Amino acid sequence: MARPEKDAAVAQLADKFREANAVLLTEYRGLSVADLKELRRSLAGNAEYTVAKNTLASIAARRVGLEAIVDDLKGPTALTFVTGEPVEAAKALRDFAKDNKNLIIKSGVMDGNALTADEIDRLASLESREVLLAKAAGAIKASLSKAAYLFAAPASKAVRTVDALREKQESAA
């Protein structure tokens, strides 16, 4: 590859590193073209699965300050640039790796913090953003219902006390 072409490739990779919410590294040795196509389809809309030269990817990662993943850019490594939800991309990779033992999740980086393969697996185990938001909304609604009941309780207790006193006076008279 000529020098200007390499510079352009590094600049393109650096832009992808900057734009991504997370970058996940996998080893793809032994996967067929059909397998890679299926993996890309499962990541569609959420992440981009790219195979790049490790040297160029290392230079681009250093340019944007992602030193944490440089050591893992050895061997047949593919980069998953996550532009959507990192949890969904991690789930897609984990699920694909379960079915295809040749895909190995190596490491990654999210919000500037390095991620190990175990941390990516834990990230994949999280529920989706929508489910977590629904649970939070349910908890808030339950708290509000409980508060409404507590505020209404003294008034209803007072009404029951007045009714009991009225019945007592009527029965005494």
Query: Which residues in the chain show pLDDT less than 50?
Result: none
What is the pTM assigned to this prediction?
Answer: 0.69
Cβ atoms of 52 and 13 closer than 8 Å: yes
The per-residue pLDDT for 2 is 63
- Give the pLDDT score at 1: 56
For residue 168, the enclosing domain spans: 128-173
- Cβ neighbors of 56 (< 8 A, separation 6 or more) are 6, 9, 10, 13
Other Cβ atoms less than 10 A from the Cβ of 38: the count is 15
Of 126, 148, 164, which residue sits at a domain end?
A: 126
54 and 132 assigned to the same domain: no
d(CA 6, CA 8): 5
Please indicate, yes or no, whether residues 57 and 113 belong to a single structural domain of this protein: yes
Which CATH number is 20's domain given?
A: 3.30.70.1730
Q: Is the CA virtual torsion 119, 125, 131, 135 positive or negative? A: negative
Q: What is the CA radius of gyration of the chain?
A: 28
